[in-house]
């Protein structure tokens, strides 16, 4: 708009006004006047559109302007709180910043400064008693790993039979969504590793060594291996995978005279390492 005003001002100033001159000067003056009029007509839609756009965006309601101002202030406050929270989380992250890339994946433990939590009542118990507690809370589960192709991730559920055996048809009844409570509580097994460094060190071996990992096939084991640190893959000693039929042990065959069932095989750690 400013440019158009300056252009029109200069054209008016540069006009050779015919006053005091002869009749012959009016011809060129009229030509310049027509050119100036055409230029102004061409530029006027732009000015009109800009003016209408400004009027359309203008908020003439004082109450609405007040609420918009308060909303902007709240968003600024939330942004500041989120930034402060992110900085605080980065300062107490489980894996330090120095463990990056493959080093972070292979970082089974970190030798930095650790709070021993000697004043915690739980850690005042003897280590043998704590190991019994950890084994009861986090061990001897059968973890079902089902690959969801649409989501490109594993769906994990658990049950607790005897010697790694599934509890049967009741297993489907206890499978809940993430965070939902089942008959063993609502705490994910991996959540114990996120409480503190001391609990991480004491429960890590139990979670990966004392539990049974059940997969649909060997291919799913290969999909599972990149999702955990390499050292933890070596800790796993009890794994099962499907070999033949795709039905459950409690499903009857079409003739209802026999049961169709999966055949699972246990694999020791060295077998898992060979597969990986």
What residue ranges do the domains of the chain occupy?
Answer: 2-18+26-52, 127-275
Range with lowest mean pLDDT among 2-11, 21-30, 81-90? 2-11
What pLDDT was estimated at residue 50?
78
Token pair in block for residue 16: 């050779």
The residue among 270 and 232 whose pLDDT is bigger is 232
Q: In terms of residues, how long is the chain?
A: 276
What is the band of 249 on the pLDDT scale with cuts at 50, 70, 90?
A: very low
The per-residue pLDDT for 13 is 55
Q: 161-170 as b/e, with b when 16 or more CB fall inside 10 Å?
A: eeebebeeee
Residue 129 confidence (pLDDT): 92
**pTM to 2 decimal places:** 0.46
Phi, psi of 254 (to 5 degrees): -55, -35
Question: For residue 67, what are the CA distances in angstroms to 60, 78, 79, 272?
Answer: 13, 16, 18, 61
| Cβ neighbours around 3 below 10 Å, total | 8
Q: How many Å apart are CA 161 and CA 184, to the nearest integer?
A: 12
The answer on pLDDT for 71 being more than 80 is yes
> Which of 36-40, 169-173, 267-271 shows the lowest per-residue confidence on average (mean pLDDT)?
267-271
Q: What are the pLDDT digits (tens) for 22-44?
A: 555 666 767 777 777 777 777 77
Q: Are the beta carbons of 204 and 193 closer than 8 angstroms?
A: yes
Across the chain, mean pLDDT equals 69
Q: What is the mean pLDDT of residues 138-150?
A: 84
Chain Cα centroid distance, residue 27:
75
Average pLDDT (77-105) is 61
Cα angle: 83, vertex 85, 87; to 5 degrees: 70
Check residue 64 and give its pLDDT.
78
- The span from the CA of 174 to the CA of 181, in Å, is 9
> Regarding predicted confidence, which is higher, 8 or 168?
168
Closest CA to 167 of 180, 155, 183, 181: 183
């Amino acid at each position: 708009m400013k440019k158009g005003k300056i252009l029109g001002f200069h054209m008016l100033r540069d006009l050779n006004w015919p006053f005091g001159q002869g009749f012959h000067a009016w011809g060129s003056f009229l030509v310049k006047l027509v050119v100036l009029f055409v230029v102004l007509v061409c530029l006027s839609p732009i000015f009109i559109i800009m003016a209408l756009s400004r009027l359309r965006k203008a908020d003439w309601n004082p109450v609405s302007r007040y609420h918009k101002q308060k909303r902007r202030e709240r968003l600024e406050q939330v942004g500041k709180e989120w930034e402060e929270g992110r900085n605080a989380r980065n300062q107490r992250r489980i894996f330090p910043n120095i463990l990056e890339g493959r080093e972070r994946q292979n970082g089974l433990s970190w030798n930095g400064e650790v709070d021993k939590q000697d004043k915690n009542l739980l850690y005042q118990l003897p280590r043998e008693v704590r190991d019994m507690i950890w084994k009861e809370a986090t061990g001897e589960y059968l973890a079902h790993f089902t690959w969801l192709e649409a989501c490109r991730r594993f769906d994990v559920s658990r049950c607790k039979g005897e010697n790694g055996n599934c509890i049967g048809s009741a297993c489907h009844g206890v499978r809940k969504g993430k965070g939902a409570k089942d008959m063993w509580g609502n705490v994910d097994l991996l959540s114990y590793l996120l409480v503190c460094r001391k609990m991480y060190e004491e429960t890590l071996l139990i979670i990966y060594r004392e539990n049974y990992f059940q997969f649909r096939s060997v291919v799913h084991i290969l999909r599972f291996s990149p999702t955990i640190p390499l050292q933890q893959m070596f800790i796993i000693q009890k794994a099962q995978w499907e070999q033949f039929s795709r039905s459950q042990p409690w499903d009857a065959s079409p003739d209802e005279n026999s049961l169709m069932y999966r055949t699972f095989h246990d694999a020791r750690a060295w077998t898992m390492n060979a597969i990986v």
